[in-house]
Amino acid sequence: MEKNNTVLDIQNLKLYFRTTRGTVQAVDGVDFKLKTNQAVVVVGESGCGKTSLSKAVLRLLPRNVEHYSGKVYLNDIETMSLDDEEYRKQIRWVKMSLVPQAAMNALNPVIRVGEQVAEPMSVHYGVKKEEALQQAIKMFQHVGVPVDFINRYPFELSGGMRQRVALAMALVTAPDLVILDEPTSALDVLTQANIFNLLKRIKSEMATSFVLITHDIATSSELADRVAVMYAGQIVEVADSSRFFKEPRHPYSAKLMASVPRLRGNDEPDFITGQPPSLINPPTGCRFAARCPRRFERCSEEPPVTKIGDDVVKCWLNV
Partner 1 sequence: MEKEITQEKSAPQAIDQKSRDGVLLEVNDLHVWFELRRFGFGHAGYVRAVDGVNFDLKDGQTIAIVGESGCGKTSLMRTILRLNHPTKGEVIFDGKVINNLKPSELKDYRSLLGYVQQDPYGALPPFMTVRNILEEPLRVNGIKDKTELFNRVKKSLEEVKMSPAEEFMPKFPHQLSGGQQQRVVIARAMIMNPRMLIADEPVSMLDASVRVEILKLLRNLQESHNLGVIYITHDLSTVRYFSEKIFVMYAGQLIERGNVSQVLNNTKHPYTFALLEATSDPDARNALVQKEIPPGEPPSLVKPPAGCRFHPRCPHMIEGLCNVEEPPDYEPEPGHFVACWLLK
Q: Name every residue whose Cβ is closer than 8 Å to that of residue 304 and which is 6 or more positions away in sequence.
A: 314, 319
The helix (run of H) or strand (run of E) holding residue 16 is strand 6-19
CB of 184 vs partner 1, minimal distance in Å: 11
Q: Is 298 in the site for partner 1 (CB under 8 A)?
A: no
- Size of the residue set binding partner 1 (CB under 8 A): 50
Question: Which one of 7-15, 108-116, 124-132, 234-242 is the stretch in contact with partner 1 (CB under 8 A)?
Answer: 234-242
Q: Is 259 in the site for partner 1 (CB under 8 A)?
A: yes
Site string for partner 1, 180-199 (x = CB under 8 A): --------xxxxxxx-xx--
Cα–Cα separations (whole angstroms), residue 274 to 53, 221, 292: 24, 26, 10
Which residue in the set 10, 150, 165, 223 belongs to the binding site for partner 1 (CB under 8 A)? 223
Q: Is 265 in the site for partner 1 (CB under 8 A)?
A: yes
Q: For residues 15 and 27, is the Cβ–Cβ distance under 8 A?
A: yes
Q: For residues 72 and 59, is the Cβ–Cβ distance under 8 A?
A: no
Residue closer to partner 1, measured from CB, 9 or 45: 45
Q: Is 246 in the site for partner 1 (CB under 8 A)?
A: yes
CA–CA separation, 3 vs 48, rounded Å? 29
Site string for partner 1, 114-153 (x = CB under 8 A): ----------------------------------------
Q: Is 220 in the site for partner 1 (CB under 8 A)?
A: yes
Residue closer to partner 1, measured from CB, 60 or 218: 218
The torsion of the CA quartet 163, 228, 177, 82, rounded to 10 degrees, works out to 120
Residue closer to partner 1, measured from CB, 66 or 240: 240
Site string for partner 1, 22-61 (x = CB under 8 A): -----------------x-----xx---------------
Q: Is 316 in the site for partner 1 (CB under 8 A)?
A: no
List, in sequence order, the alpha helices (H) in the chain: 50-58, 84-90, 113-125, 129-143, 159-171, 189-206, 217-220, 241-244, 251-258
Q: Is 224 in the site for partner 1 (CB under 8 A)?
A: yes
Which among 111, 99, 20 is positioned nearest to 60, based on CA atoms? Answer: 99
Residue closer to partner 1, measured from CB, 49 or 160: 160
Q: For residues 196 and 210, is the Cβ–Cβ distance under 8 A?
A: no
Q: For residues 225 and 39, is the Cβ–Cβ distance under 8 A?
A: yes
Q: Is 307 in the site for partner 1 (CB under 8 A)?
A: no
Which residue in the set 6, 241, 253, 318 belongs to the binding site for partner 1 (CB under 8 A)? 241
Residue closer to partner 1, measured from CB, 269 or 304: 269
DSSP 55-71: HHHHT---TTEEEEEEE
Q: Is 205 in the site for partner 1 (CB under 8 A)?
A: no
CB of 201 vs partner 1, minimal distance in Å: 7
CA–CA separation, 279 vs 259, rounded Å? 23
Strand order in the sheet with 96-99: 96-99, 177-181, 209-214, 39-43, 226-231, 234-240, 311-313, 306-308
Residue closer to partner 1, measured from CB, 109 or 261: 261
Binding site for partner 1 (CB under 8 A): 39, 45-46, 158-160, 188-194, 196-197, 200-201, 215-225, 240-242, 244-246, 255-257, 259-265, 268-272, 275
